[in-house]
C-alpha cells in the first residue's frame, strides 16, 4: 500500500490531534476535576493561617486607675529544619536569653520544626537578639508576638483581681469570672510566604480582624482600698492573726468599695504564692459570726412585732439554763431592753427573743437576710455558708444561733446583712463590677444595683440602727470603734473558733466588728474580721481588737469621701479616742 | 527605471504601520504588566513595613502605658513618699473649708452650666 503525501499528512495531523487531546484531557482533569485537591495541597505548602491575637481587656477601678493590663513580650521559637549554623545559634541564643547552653543545645539538636526556647521575652532583649541573628546571618529562629499580664499594684486587691495562666486564661478573681469579656476574640489572616519564609503581601488572603477584650470597671475605689490595705497590714503586724478580712460596701447599692484579705500574695509573683494565700476569705471562708449575728435576731423579733425597742427582757442574772445547758452572759444582767440587749450584747436576751419567735420563723429570717445562699457577687468560688434547717437543730440550737454560733457565714454575707440594716431593710446583691466597656469607652454593659428583697421594714431597720448607735458609745461594747465627729452604728462579734474535730478551741477566737457611718445616712458599711488574733485573752474581743481597726479605717475613709462631721458630736467628744471601759468586751 | 521598479517588492505601508503599532502596543502592555506587577510587590513590601512600624509604635505605646501605670501605682507612690521624693503634708482639719450647697429655686432661670464637649 502506498500512501500519498496527503494521507501521510493527515495521519501526522491526527497523531498531533490525539496527542494534544490527551494533554488537554489531562489538563482538564488536573485543573478542573482535581482542582480542589491539588489547590489544597499547594495551599498547605505556601498558605498559612496566621493568627492575629486579641488584646486582653484591662481592669480598672472606680476612678479608672489601672489594676491589670498587658505588656507586649515575644516568644522565641526555633525551626531546626531551617537552622544554618546550629553551634553559633546555640551560643548566641543562650547568651542573649540567659538560658543554659546545654538546654538550648539539646533543644536545637533535634529535628523538630517548632520549639519554644523562651516565653515572655522583653521587647528590648528580643530586638537585640533579632539584630544579632541578622548580622551573623543565622536563620531558623523566629519571634512570636505575645503579651503578659501585669498588675501595677502588686499584692493590692489580689484576691479580687485574680490572675491568668500562661495561655492568658483567667483562673481566679475577676480575671476568672469575667474571662469571656476580658479575653476577646483572636483574628486570623491567610498568608503565603516565599522560600525564605517571608510573607508575600500580594497574595494575602481572607482576613478577620481581632476583637480586643472589653475593659472591666470595678466598683472598688483604689484610695479606699489603700486605706484598708494599710490598716489590715497594721493589724497583722500588731495582732498576728492567722487570717484577716476587711470589707467596705456602699449599703444603698451593694457596691464593694474595698476588700482585703490576709494572707495575701503579689500578683506579679503569682508562681511563688501558696494556695492558702490565694484564697479570697471574704467569700470562700466560713466563720461563726458571733454576736454580730444578733442584729438578725433582733431585727426578726422587731419586724414580727414580738417586741419593741423598749421592751424589757429578763436576762437571768447572767446564767440561763435552757434545754439542760447553761447559757452565759459576759456580765450578770437583770432586765434589759431590746436596745440594751444589742448595746450590751446579751446572749441570754438574744436567745429569749429567738425562742419567742420560734424555730421556723427565726430560720425564715436568717434565710431572708441571705445566709445559707451565695450572694451572687461576680467573683468565683463563693460558698453559701452553712445554715441547717430547723429539723436538724438540737434542743439548744434556738439559743445558740441567735448569738451567732452553730452557723457558718462568709464575711461578705455578714457585711451584706449589715447593709440591709443600714439602707432601710433592703437586701442588695453585692457587686464588684461597675461596668464593661470597649477599649474606646463604649459601654457594653452597666450593672445596676439589684434589690433582692425587702428583708425587714424600714421602721425595723431604723430601730436596729438606733440600737446599734449605742454599741459604739461608752455604754456599749465598741467604744473604741468611735470616730470623732461622726455617729457610728455597729455591732461587735467574738466567737470561739471551731477546731478541725468540730469542738471549740479554747483561747482561739474570731473577733469582728461590723458597722456603718454616718449612722443616719450611711455612706459605707465596714466589716473587720480577725481570726485568732494574738493578744491578751482579756482583750481578745471584737470591740477591743476589730473596733479600733474599723475606727481608723472609717476616720480615713470619711476624710477621703469628704463626709461632713456632725457638729454636736464634734463638740461632745474630744478628739482623743474614747477610753475603753470594762463593758467593751463583746 | 522600469527594470529596477520590476525587481522591488511593493510595501504596504498601512499594513506595516498597523503591525508596528500592534507589536509596540503588545510590547508596551507587557512592560506595563511587568512594571505594575513589580510595583504591586514593592507596595506589598512597603505595606508590610508600615504594618510592622505601626505594630512597633503600638507596642512602644503599650510599654510606655505600662511604665506610667507602674510608676503611678499606689505601691510605687507610697515607696516614693517613704523615700522622701514626694513632699506631702496632711491637711489639718482647721484648714478645710466646707461649702454647703445653696438651695436653689427651681424656677430660677439662671443656672450655672457646663459644656462637657469643650472639656474633651
Identify whether the C-beta of residue A479 lies closer than 8 Å to the C-beta of residue A579. yes
Give span(s): CATH 3.40.710.10, chain A. Answer: 222-572
Give span(s): CATH 3.90.1310.10, chain A. Answer: 50-218
Residues in A closer than 8 angstroms to B53, CB to CB, are none
Q: What was the pLDDT predicted at B92?
A: 79
What average pLDDT does the segment A373-378 reach?
Answer: 94
Contact at CB, A153 and B44, closer than 8 angstroms:
no
* CATH number for the domain formed by residue range(s) A50-218: 3.90.1310.10
**A265 vs B105, residue with greater confidence:** A265
Q: What was the pLDDT predicted at A392?
A: 93
Burial (CB count <10 Å: 0-12, 13-18, 19+), residue A167:
exposed
Partner residue facing B59 (CB), from A72, A225, A564: A72
Decide if pLDDT at A541 tops 60.
Answer: yes
Residues in A closer than 8 angstroms to B72, CB to CB, are 152
Helix ranges (DSSP H) in A492-538: none
Most B CBs within 10 Å: which of A66, A224, A570, as the mutation test of the B interface? A66
What is the rounded CA–CA span in Å between residue A179 and residue A511?
Answer: 35
Q: Which helix (H) or strand (E) holds B96?
A: none
A88-126 pLDDT, tens digit per residue, is 999 999 999 999 999 999 999 988 888 999 988 988 889
Structure-block grid coordinates of residue A321: 439554763
Residues in A closer than 8 angstroms to B48, CB to CB, are 199, 201
What average pLDDT does the segment A422-439 reach?
Answer: 94
Return the number of other C-beta atoms located less than 10 Å from residue A334's C-beta: 10
Contact at CB, B75 and A201, closer than 8 angstroms:
no
Partner residue facing B74 (CB), from A200, A202, A226: A226
What average pLDDT does the segment A309-323 reach?
Answer: 91
Nearest 5 degrees, angle CA A134-CA A138-CA A144? Answer: 70
What is the residue-averaged pLDDT of chain A?
Answer: 89
Handedness of CA A408, A412, A415, A421 (dihedral sign): negative
Q: Among all residues of chain A, which has the CA nearest to that of B58?
A: A72
Put simply, whether A458 touches B (Cβ < 8 Å) is no
Q: What was the pLDDT predicted at B111?
A: 45
The percent of chain B in helix, strand and coil, each rounded to the nearest 5, is 70, 0, 30
Q: Among all residues of chain A, which has the CA nearest to that of B99?
A: A564
Q: Among all residues of chain A, which has the CA nearest to that of B66?
A: A71
Identify whether the C-beta of residue A529 lies closer than 8 Å to the C-beta of residue A277. no
Residues in A closer than 8 angstroms to B43, CB to CB, are 201
Decide if pLDDT at A36 tops 50.
Answer: yes
* CATH number for the domain formed by residue range(s) A222-572: 3.40.710.10
Identify whether the C-beta of residue A546 lies closer than 8 Å to the C-beta of residue A528. yes
Put simply, whether B94 touches A (Cβ < 8 Å) is no
Identify whether the C-beta of residue A107 lies closer than 8 Å to the C-beta of residue A117. yes
Put simply, whether B63 touches A (Cβ < 8 Å) is yes
Q: Among all residues of chain A, which has the CA nearest to that of B39?
A: A202
Partner residue facing A69 (CB), from B47, B55, B66: B66
The CB-side HSE value for A434 (13 A sphere, CA atoms) comes to 16
Q: Among all residues of chain B, which has the CA nearest to that of A152?
A: B70
Classify residue A339 by its DSSP letter. Answer: H
Q: What was the pLDDT predicted at A122?
A: 87
What average pLDDT does the segment B11-33 reach?
Answer: 94
Contact at CB, B73 and A152, closer than 8 angstroms:
yes
Classify residue A408 by its DSSP letter. Answer: B
Residues in B closer than 8 angstroms to A200, CB to CB, are 41, 44
Least confident piece of the model among A61-70, A284-293, A460-469, A494-503: A494-503
Structure-block grid coordinates of residue A210: 481581632
Q: What was the pLDDT predicted at B6?
A: 63
Per cent of chain A over pLDDT 70 is 96
**A315 vs B78, residue with greater confidence:** A315
Q: How confident is the model at residue B80 (pLDDT cuts 50, 70, 90)?
A: confident
Most A CBs within 10 Å: which of B74, B77, B82, as the mutation test of the A interface? B74
**A140 vs A460, residue with greater confidence:** A460
What average pLDDT does the segment A359-367 reach?
Answer: 95
Partner residue facing B41 (CB), from A70, A202, A222: A202
Decide if pLDDT at A553 tops 90.
Answer: yes
CA A109 to chain CA mean position, Å? 45
Q: How confident is the model at residue A307 (pLDDT cuts 50, 70, 90)?
A: very high
Decide if pLDDT at B109 tops 50.
Answer: no
What is the rounded CA–CA span in Å between residue A265 and residue A47?
Answer: 46
What average pLDDT does the segment A33-44 reach?
Answer: 86
Helix (H, G, I), strand (E, B) or coil at A77: strand
**A576 vs A100, residue with greater confidence:** A100
Taking the CA atoms of residue B35, residue B41, residue B43 and residue B45 in that order, the dihedral angle to the nearest 10 degrees is -150
Chains A, B: CB pairs < 8 Å? 51
Decide if pLDDT at B105 tops 80.
Answer: no
Contact at CB, A199 and B59, closer than 8 angstroms:
no
Partner residue facing A70 (CB), from B45, B62, B70: B62
Put simply, whether B41 touches A (Cβ < 8 Å) is yes
ipTM: 0.71
What average pLDDT does the segment A39-67 reach?
Answer: 87
Decide if pLDDT at B113 tops 50.
Answer: no
Q: What was the pLDDT predicted at A198?
A: 75
Classify residue A476 by its DSSP letter. Answer: S
Question: Does pTM top 0.90 for this prediction?
Answer: no
Q: What was the pLDDT predicted at B91?
A: 77
Tracing cell 506595563 back to the chain, one arrives at: B32
Put simply, whether A130 touches B (Cβ < 8 Å) is no
What is the rounded CA–CA span in Å between residue B63 and residue A484?
Answer: 46
What average pLDDT does the segment A45-55 reach?
Answer: 83
B42-57 pLDDT, tens digit per residue, is 998 899 899 889 988 9
Cβ within 8 Å of residue A305, ≥6 positions away: none
Classify residue A424 by its DSSP letter. Answer: T
Contact at CB, A156 and B74, closer than 8 angstroms:
yes
**A572 vs A283, residue with greater confidence:** A283
Per cent of chain A over pLDDT 90 is 66
Burial (CB count <10 Å: 0-12, 13-18, 19+), residue A364:
middle
What average pLDDT does the segment B18-25 reach?
Answer: 96
Contact at CB, A150 and B74, closer than 8 angstroms:
no
The CB-side HSE value for A355 (13 A sphere, CA atoms) comes to 15
Least confident piece of the model among A273-287, A338-352, A570-584: A570-584
Put simply, whether A150 touches B (Cβ < 8 Å) is yes
Q: What was the pLDDT predicted at B100?
A: 55
Q: What was the pLDDT predicted at A2?
A: 65
Q: What was the pLDDT predicted at B5?
A: 57
Decide if pLDDT at A82 tops 90.
Answer: no
Put simply, whether B67 touches A (Cβ < 8 Å) is no
Helix (H, G, I), strand (E, B) or coil at A58: coil
Identify whether the C-beta of residue A410 lies closer than 8 Å to the C-beta of residue A527. no
Put simply, whether B62 touches A (Cβ < 8 Å) is yes
Amino acid at each position: 500500500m502506498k500512501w500519498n503525501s496527503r494521507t501521510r499528512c493527515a495521519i501526522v495531523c491526527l497523531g498531533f490531534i490525539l496527542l494534544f487531546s490527551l494533554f488537554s484531557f489531562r489538563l482538564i482533569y488536573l485543573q478542573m476535576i482535581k482542582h480542589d485537591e491539588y489547590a489544597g495541597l499547594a495551599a498547605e505548602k505556601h498558605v498559612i493561617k496566621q493568627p492575629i491575637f486579641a488584646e486582653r481587656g484591662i481592669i480598672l477601678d472606680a476612678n479608672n486607675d489601672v489594676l491589670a493590663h498587658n505588656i507586649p513580650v515575644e516568644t522565641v521559637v526555633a525551626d531546626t529544619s531551617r537552622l544554618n549554623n546550629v553551634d553559633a545559634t546555640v551560643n548566641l541564643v543562650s547568651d542573649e536569653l540567659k538560658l543554659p547552653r546545654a538546654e538550648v543545645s539539646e533543644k536545637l539538636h533535634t529535628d523538630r520544626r517548632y520549639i519554644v526556647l523562651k516565653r515572655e521575652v522583653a521587647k528590648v532583649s528580643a530586638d537585640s537578639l533579632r539584630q544579632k541573628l541578622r548580622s551573623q546571618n543565622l536563620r531558623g529562629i523566629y519571634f512570636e508576638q505575645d503579651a503578659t499580664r501585669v498588675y501595677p499594684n502588686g499584692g493590692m486587691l489580689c484576691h479580687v483581681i485574680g490572675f491568668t495562666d500562661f495561655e492568658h486564661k483567667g483562673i481566679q478573681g475577676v480575671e476568672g469570672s469575667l474571662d469571656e469579656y476580658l479575653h476577646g476574640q483572636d483574628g486570623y489572616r491567610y498568608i503565603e510566604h516565599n522560600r525564605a519564609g517571608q510573607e508575600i503581601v500580594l497574595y494575602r488572603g481572607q482576613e478577620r480582624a481581632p476583637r480586643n477584650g472589653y475593659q472591666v470597671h470595678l466598683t472598688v475605689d483604689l484610695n479606699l482600698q489603700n486605706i484598708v490595705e494599710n490598716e489590715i497590714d497594721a493589724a497583722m503586724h500588731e495582732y498576728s492573726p492567722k487570717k484577716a478580712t476587711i470589707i467596705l460596701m456602699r449599703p444603698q447599692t451593694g457596691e464593694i468599695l474595698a476588700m482585703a484579705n490576709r494572707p495575701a500574695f503579689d500578683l506579679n509573683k503569682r508562681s511563688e504564692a501558696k494556695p492558702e494565700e490565694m484564697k479570697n476569705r471574704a467569700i470562700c471562708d466560713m466563720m461563726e459570726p458571733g454576736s454580730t449575728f444578733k442584729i438578725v435576731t433582733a431585727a426578726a423579733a422587731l419586724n414580727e412585732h414580738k417586741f419593741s425597742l423598749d421592751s424589757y427582757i429578763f436576762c437571768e442574772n447572767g446564767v440561763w439554763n435552757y434545754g439542760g445547758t447553761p447559757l452565759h452572759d459576759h456580765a450578770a444582767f437583770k432586765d434589759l431592753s431590746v436596745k440594751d440587749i444589742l448595746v450590751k450584747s446579751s446572749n441570754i436576751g438574744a436567745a429569749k427573743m429567738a425562742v419567742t419567735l420560734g424555730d421556723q420563723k427565726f430560720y425564715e429570717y436568717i434565710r431572708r437576710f441571705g445566709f445559707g445562699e451565695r450572694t451572687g457577687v461576680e467573683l468565683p468560688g463563693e460558698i453559701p455558708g452553712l445554715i441547717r434547717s430547723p429539723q436538724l437543730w438540737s434542743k439548744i440550737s434556738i439559743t445558740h444561733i441567735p448569738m451567732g454560733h452553730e452557723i457558718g457565714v462568709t464575711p461578705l454575707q455578714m457585711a451584706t446583712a449589715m447593709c440591709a440594716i443600714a439602707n432601710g431593710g433592703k437586701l442588695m446583691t453585692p457587686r464588684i463590677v461597675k461596668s464593661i466597656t470597649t477599649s474606646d469607652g463604649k459601654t457594653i454593659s452597666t450593672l445596676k444595683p439589684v434589690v433582692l428583697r425587702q428583708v425587714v421594714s424600714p421602721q425595723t431597720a431604723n430601730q436596729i440602727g438606733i440600737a446599734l448607735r449605742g454599741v459604739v458609745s461608752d455604754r456599749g461594747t465598741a467604744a473604741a470603734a468611735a470616730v470623732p465627729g461622726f455617729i457610728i452604728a455597729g455591732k461587735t462579734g467574738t466567737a470561739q473558733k471551731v477546731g478541725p474535730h468540730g469542738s471549740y478551741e479554747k483561747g482561739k477566737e474570731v473577733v469582728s466588728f461590723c458597722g456603718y457611718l454616718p449612722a443616719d445616712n450611711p455612706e459605707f458599711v465596714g466589716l473587720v474580721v480577725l481570726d485568732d488574733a494574738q493578744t491578751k485573752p482579756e482583750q481578745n474581743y471584737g470591740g477591743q481588737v476589730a473596733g479600733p481597726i474599723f475606727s481608723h479605717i472609717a476616720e480615713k475613709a470619711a476624710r477621703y469621701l469628704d463626709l461632713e462631721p456632725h457638729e454636736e458630736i464634734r463638740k461632745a467628744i474630744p478628739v482623743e479616742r474614747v477610753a475603753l471601759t470594762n463593758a467593751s468586751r463583746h | 527605471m522600469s527594470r529596477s521598479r520590476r525587481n522591488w517588492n511593493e510595501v504596504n505601508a498601512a499594513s506595516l504601520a498597523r503591525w508596528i503599532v500592534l507589536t509596540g502596543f503588545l510590547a508596551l502592555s507587557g512592560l506595563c504588566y511587568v512594571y505594575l506587577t513589580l510595583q504591586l510587590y514593592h507596595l506589598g513590601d512597603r505595606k508590610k513595613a508600615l504594618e510592622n512600624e505601626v505594630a512597633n509604635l503600638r507596642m512602644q505605646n503599650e510599654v510606655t502605658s505600662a511604665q506610667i501605670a507602674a510608676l503611678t501605682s499606689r505601691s510605687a507612690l507610697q515607696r516614693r513618699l517613704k523615700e522622701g521624693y514626694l513632699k506631702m503634708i496632711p491637711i489639718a482639719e482647721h484648714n478645710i473649708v466646707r461649702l454647703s450647697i445653696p438651695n436653689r429655686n427651681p424656677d430660677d432661670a439662671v443656672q450655672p452650666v457646663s459644656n462637657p464637649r469643650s472639656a474633651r
